[in-house]
Amino acid sequence: MENYLDGYDKENCKHCGLNRKEQGYDGCIGELRGVMNACCGHGQKSTAYVQFNHSNYKEEPNKILLQGEKALKYIKQHSSVGK
């Protein structure tokens, strides 16, 4: 299996083949309201994550973080793609 970072900083994801959005979002994710960072994992489920905005980010950067299957489920339910 290829490294999920092989798709990093590219115009499209090597896994889903969708182009990165103009705002920089992964093509398969789109905009997620209230989310600071997110990654679909590019085919490796365990590396997917959703990191939410919150007021104490500098003190606790990973306080509100979903990873792996939980992140993918959240992305599927809240993604702006296809809506």
Across the range 61-74, mean pLDDT stands at 86
The predicted-structure confidence for 12-64, as pLDDT tens digits, reads as follows 777 777 887 777 777 788 788 888 888 888 888 999 999 888 777 667 666 78
The DSSP symbol for 33 reads T
| 54 is a domain residue | yes
pLDDT at 83: 55
Burial class (CB in 10 A: 0-12, 13-18, 19+), 55: exposed
Return the pLDDT at 22: 77
Q: Structurally, how many domains does the chain consist of?
A: 1
83 within domain boundaries: no
Residue 70, domain extent: 4-78
The predicted structure's pLDDT at residue 1: 42
Q: Is the pTM of this model over 0.85?
A: no
